[in-house]
Amino acid sequence: MHKFLIRSFVSSLVLLFTLTVAAVAKDVKAAFVYIGPTGDHGWTYQHDVGRKAVEAAGFKTTYVEGVPESADAERVLRQLANSGHDVIFTTSFGYMNPTNKVAKEFPNVKFEHATGYKREHPNVSTYAARFYEGRTILGTIAGTMTKSNVIGYVASFPIPEVIRGINSFTLAAQKVNPNIKTKIVWAFTWYDPGKEAEAAKALIDQGADVIAQHTDSTAIVQMAEKAGVYAFGQASDMDKFAPKAVLTSVENNWGPYYVDRVKAVANGTWSQKDTWHGIGDGMVVISDLDSQMPADLRSKVKKLQADLASGKVHSFTGPIYDQKGNLMVAEGKTADDGMLAGMMTYVKGVEGDIPK
């Protein structure tokens, strides 16, 4: 009898302990909402690579692809929040208002919105990458490799993110080759292989022999391959789609951030943040440099990459002038994040006007 009591006491203690441990190490589930298909080899593809890193770190994940930025986004978010997900990553700008709206209703669920600026509730964080640092590298390569001194650039929408990229690219190209001009074609889309290919073709017809892009499909590098000009991959390493044309790619590397944030949710240390990481933090990655680039250019690029990572070099270091010749950043100064976040003027050397 006595023995039985002790035994049952011990076993109930063990049971209690297991239950407590189970409660603490609660399974954290993360959800991802994508604007496009996971097979776009661009924006969504890279977010899904990040999601897989979260899975590899031992967490459960769910994703919904092709969610339009219409009234549907809100329903998908609510359904994810309602079905036991602890943290939801919304990976397109257009989800900003639905994210904040649903976050209000689910204060215990964490929301992470990519590329937005609204954090209306304490459970909403925002994150973005300093892609312009990658474009400093691309500009350096483009300015060196061009023979026609005309560089083409397929842009998506005239928002600060894209203008900043064009400027950073042009400044870097001018540094190695003061004679270059950057020609822009606005595609007004993030993903439309047909339109993107047309835009690239138009630029090539105007004499561009290096094409950069701020849209997501592989159509531009493939068009460049056909026309025999150089191009750069966007978002993911696009070398396999156009081995001759692609000199390097700027990869979006979301994995480390995602794992970090999901772990923070699991440990109970998650708090609201506005993250803007670049090459130094590994969110922006430069793919392998193509062997068509001269060896001295390759070593120069490697050094630049290290300097951008350490902060020794800043993409926007003065003196920087706008198209009309007004001083934007004084000599020896660098642009602060506020200026970068609202950048809506071209620097000198970019052709054309920003569409209004």
Partner 1 sequence: MIKIVKRDQPSRAIFFFTPVLAIILTLVAGGLIFFILGFKPFEALKFFFIVPIADKYGFSELLLKATPLCLIAIGLSFCFKSNNWNIGAEGQLTFGAIVSGGVALLFYEQEGFYILPTVILAGAIGGMLYASIPAILKTYFNTNEILVSLMLVYVSKLILDYLVVGPWSNPEGFNFPETRQFSDSAKLPLLFEGLRIHAGIFLALAAVVISWFVFYKTYLGFQMKVSGFSLKTAKYAGYKGKKMIILVFLISGACAGLAGVGEITGPIGQLHREISPDYGFTAIIVAFLGRLHPVGIIFASLVVAITYLGAETAQIFMQIPKYTGQVFQGMILFFLLASDYLLFFKIKFIGLKK
User: Closer CB to partner 1, residue 352 or residue 355?
Assistant: 355
| Interaction of residue 56 with partner 1, rule CB under 8 A | no
| Interaction of residue 93 with partner 1, rule CB under 8 A | yes
Q: Report the largest interatomic distance among the alpha carbons of the chain, rounded to a whole angstrom.
A: 96
Contact (CB, 8 A) for 222 and 42: no
The binder of partner 1 chosen from 94, 193, 207, 318 (CB under 8 A): 94
Could you tell me how many residues of this chain bind partner 1 (CB under 8 A)?
34
Which residue type is seen at 221? Answer: V
Reading the block at residue 298, the tokens are 């390759």
| Interaction of residue 281 with partner 1, rule CB under 8 A | no
The binder of partner 1 chosen from 67, 103, 220, 229 (CB under 8 A): 67
User: Closer CB to partner 1, residue 69 or residue 307?
Assistant: 69
| Interaction of residue 111 with partner 1, rule CB under 8 A | no
| Interaction of residue 62 with partner 1, rule CB under 8 A | yes
The binder of partner 1 chosen from 14, 16, 327, 344 (CB under 8 A): 344
The binder of partner 1 chosen from 11, 12, 20, 83 (CB under 8 A): 83
Residues 148-177 that bind partner 1 (CB under 8 A): 157-160
Stretch that binds partner 1, among 125-133, 168-176, 281-289, 341-349 (CB under 8 A): 341-349
| Cα(234)–Cα(221) distance, integer angstroms | 9
Binding site for partner 1 (CB under 8 A): 31, 37, 62-72, 74-76, 78-80, 83, 93-94, 97, 117, 157-160, 188, 341-342, 344, 355-356
